[in-house]
Amino acid sequence: MGAPTADRVAGRLLGEAPAGSAGDRMNQDGSRRGTDDGVMYRRVAADLRDAIADGAYGSGGKLPAEAALAEHYGVSRGTIRQALALLRSNGLVTSRRGTRRVVLGTAPVQSFSELLSFTNWARSVGEEPGAVLDSMVVRPAGDQERERLRLEPDADVYAVLRVRTLSGRPVMIERTVYPVWVGELVARLPVNEVSYTEQLLEHGIVFADADHTIDLAYADADDARLLGCADGTALLRELRHTTDPTGRPLEWSEDRYLPGTVAFTVHNSIAASAFSRLRHAGPAR
Amino acid sequence: MGAPTADRVAGRLLGEAPAGSAGDRMNQDGSRRGTDDGVMYRRVAADLRDAIADGAYGSGGKLPAEAALAEHYGVSRGTIRQALALLRSNGLVTSRRGTRRVVLGTAPVQSFSELLSFTNWARSVGEEPGAVLDSMVVRPAGDQERERLRLEPDADVYAVLRVRTLSGRPVMIERTVYPVWVGELVARLPVNEVSYTEQLLEHGIVFADADHTIDLAYADADDARLLGCADGTALLRELRHTTDPTGRPLEWSEDRYLPGTVAFTVHNSIAASAFSRLRHAGPAR
DNA sequence: AAGTGGTCTAGACCACAGA
DNA sequence: CTGTGGTCTAGACCACTTA
């Protein structure tokens, strides 16, 4: 390939501002928060994301044509399309045959790790994450656990119960089940280590895919005790199933949040959506 | 391009079954439920989706290499990659450089319209959807509504309140706000028309992008009366903001579900995710 | 009719996994 | 080392929108 230099990604191609928001076309600085992972389409995407965040195209404004972007960045149209697909999947821009792409809004600046890790999420919203280990046991896997973690019939699991805190205030109960090979690593971590995810990452364990189910649950005696709420209080529940890039299950977790501490957001589009409603099937644990 | 005939998409290329699930390699019928929209990569994706659902590769099994798929379907590798990207974004398969793709699970068979439309969702889970119109008014837009629907300062909105039912049982309260140009169409629909979405679609209004926020809310007097629950009952709330392919806002809705009637699922991956947690900011209405 | 995004091709090189 | 998916290119044609 042409191996364009990094500073090829700088400057700003102007699109078309929406009616009623002309005049704010500053920010030619080309500064970029996004990570340079050396992949061109990500750099282009990051640059466009920043431009959109700066309001260079306005909300409801039009992006430059793909051909124009390709020339501007000195890459092929295919690369531009890769970058735009990213923005599209993040709900930043629309696309429709025949017309220019339209800016929908500003990106929620959250990376994949922030989606999985309570710790990273807490930091990203400016709070101090904490964790209190309540219990960690090794026990034979239940039927559901064996199936979900794809384990042998007689396999054990590590079951961990933790209270997660924001700036010292308990907000979530985390019940996580790990297969033995992951659990052994978890067990060796210092007690009250805040982020298992980060530590596991350093052991070469990569969280690659996750399925989440969100519904409502009621606090049991443990929840009430640990969260300091009344027994039977309604909690927002997230069931999470995570695998590594190989498809090997890494964890199966049930998190219960105190109301008012968290909300979940999803974007979907006619092109690609990973969002669906389910008929409620009762407690899945 | 080579314009392959439709029946080029038939037969089945076998991958590699996971340990412990060999022997179920039937289904050479090539039957396909998927829609033939004439786009090759979608046809390939649908075919692979069916193959996966039939267990041809097994859960945890490996897909054939891209090159093999390309030859099998008689298309280029690029097209195969488009198809696989679809499956990936649906959480069906993983992908990692260096190794074959791994089957994660079976697709949730839901289309985009099922995600937006209560009616389609209800049908897809085998229940009879219903709607009872409680009120429909035209009134000046509030500040938030004006911003979210991108309206002029003095614009009106149509505000609709409906009770949604499953087989006659009330399960959800839907408070939707439409800009005038959409609301006028809605107002002309027959009272107790079940699916506004389907009707609007026939008027050429296309729902293309949606943002959802999910959290917990408590039943107010209206909710309690209409859902037949106690005042203050915890409800699962979905805030939804929908736009057409042009980026023009179509609706802004707050839906409140009785607990135990619905759950929301999300898939995300390290590659592309549209899912994020938010710091809770109180009632957004 | 001109412009734009959607789809597809054929080829290239690279980074990484696993034998 | 070989096979695999990840990235990128340069070109082509089509469907749709807008003027």
- Are residues A139 and A51 located together in one domain of the fold? no
Interface of A with B in 263-282 (CB under 8 A): 263-270, 272-282
Q: Are residues B80 and B154 in the same domain?
A: no
Residues paired with A243 in a beta bridge = A209, A249
Residue B63 CA distance to nucleotide C19 C1' (Å) = 19
At which of A19, A54, A89 does a domain end?
Answer: A89
Total of domains in chain A: 2
- The gap between A181 CA and C18 C1' (Å) is 21
> Residues B181, B51: one domain?
no
Are B119 and B246 in the same domain?
yes
Q: In chain B, pLDDT over 70 holds for what percent of residues?
A: 82
B71: Cβ–Cβ under 8 A, 6 or more apart, which residues? none
Confidence of residue A30 (pLDDT cuts 50, 70, 90): very low
d(Cα B212, Cα B235) in Å, to the nearest integer? 16
In the Cβ-directed half-sphere of B97, how many Cα atoms lie within 13 Å?
A: 1
Q: What's the whole-number mean pLDDT along residues B237-264? A: 93
Q: Is residue B151 part of a domain?
A: yes
Chain B closest CA to A274's CA: distance in Å?
5
User: Are both B144 and B253 inside the same structural domain?
Assistant: yes
Query: What is the average pLDDT value for chain A, to the nearest integer?
Result: 84
Distance from CA of B237 to the nearest CA of A (A): 10
Q: Is residue A280 part of a domain?
A: no
Calpha distance A88→A75 (Å, rounded): 19
- Assess whether B137 and B239 both reside in one domain: yes
- Its domain, for residue A77, covers 6-89
A268–B115 CB contact, under 8 Å: yes
User: Which is nearest to A147 in space by CA: A249, A255, A236?
Assistant: A249
CA angle A191, A180, A176 (to 5 degrees): 60
Same domain? B117 vs B253:
yes
Distance, CA of B2 to C1' of C1, in Å: 28
The DSSP secondary structure of chain B, one letter per residue, reads -----GGGS-S----BPPTT-TT-----S----S---S-HHHHHHHHHHHHHHTTSS-TT-BPPPHHHHHHHHTS-HHHHHHHHHHHHHTTSB--BTTB--BB--PPP---HHHHH-HHHHHHHTT--EEEEEEEEEEEE--HHHHHHTT--TT-EEEEEEEEEEETTEEEEEEEEEEEHHHHHHHHTSPTT-S-HHHHHHHTT----EEEEEEEEEE--HHHHHHHT--TT-EEEEEEEEEE-TTS-EEEEEEEEEPTTSEEEEEEEESS---EEEEE--S---
Residue A94 lies in a domain: no
Residue A281 located in a structural domain: no
C1' of nucleotide C4: residue with nearest CA = A98
Assigned domain for A105 exists: no
Per-residue pLDDT of A170-224, as tens digits, reads 999 999 999 999 999 999 999 889 999 889 988 889 899 998 999 999 999 999 9
Alpha-carbon distance of B13 to B47, in angstroms, equals 11
What tens digit of pLDDT does each residue of B117-137 get? 899 888 888 899 999 999 999
CA atoms within 13 A on the CB side of A103: 26
Q: How far is the CA of A6 from the C1' of C3 (A)?
A: 30
Distance from CA of B63 to the nearest CA of A (A): 12
**Is B125 part of the contact surface with chain A (CB cutoff 8 Å)?**
yes
* Structural domain includes residue A98: no
Chain C nucleotides with an atom closer than 7 Å to a protein C-beta: 3-12, 15-18
Domain co-membership, B201 together with B122: yes
Structural Rg of chain A based on CA atoms: 22
Do A58 and A118 lie in one domain? The reply is no
- B181 min Cα distance to partner chain A (Å): 18
Q: Is residue B81 part of a domain?
A: yes
- Nearest chain A residue to B123 by CA distance is A279
Q: Answer yes or no: do B17 and B120 share one domain.
A: no
Question: Measured between alpha carbons, how far is B26 from A249 in angstroms, rounded to an integer?
Answer: 27
A208, A236, A280 ranked by CB distance to B269: nearest: A208
Highest mean pLDDT among A34-38, B3-7, B76-80: B76-80
CATH of the domain at B240: 3.40.1410.10
| CATH number for position A69 | 1.10.10
At A11 the pLDDT is: 61
Residue numbers 4-23 of B with CB closer than 7 A to any atom of strand C: 4
Facing residue for A212 by CB, picked from B243, B261, B275: B275
- Is the per-residue pLDDT at A2 higher than 70? no
Nucleic strand C within 7 A of Cβ A246:
yes
In whole angstroms, D13 C1' to B1 CA is: 8
Same domain, B123 and B253: yes
Q: Is the pLDDT of residue B283 over 80?
A: no
Residue B17 lies inside a defined structural domain of this protein: yes
Longest dimension (CA), chain B: 68
Q: Are B238 and A177 in contact (CB under 8 A)?
A: no
Residues A67 and A131 in one domain: no
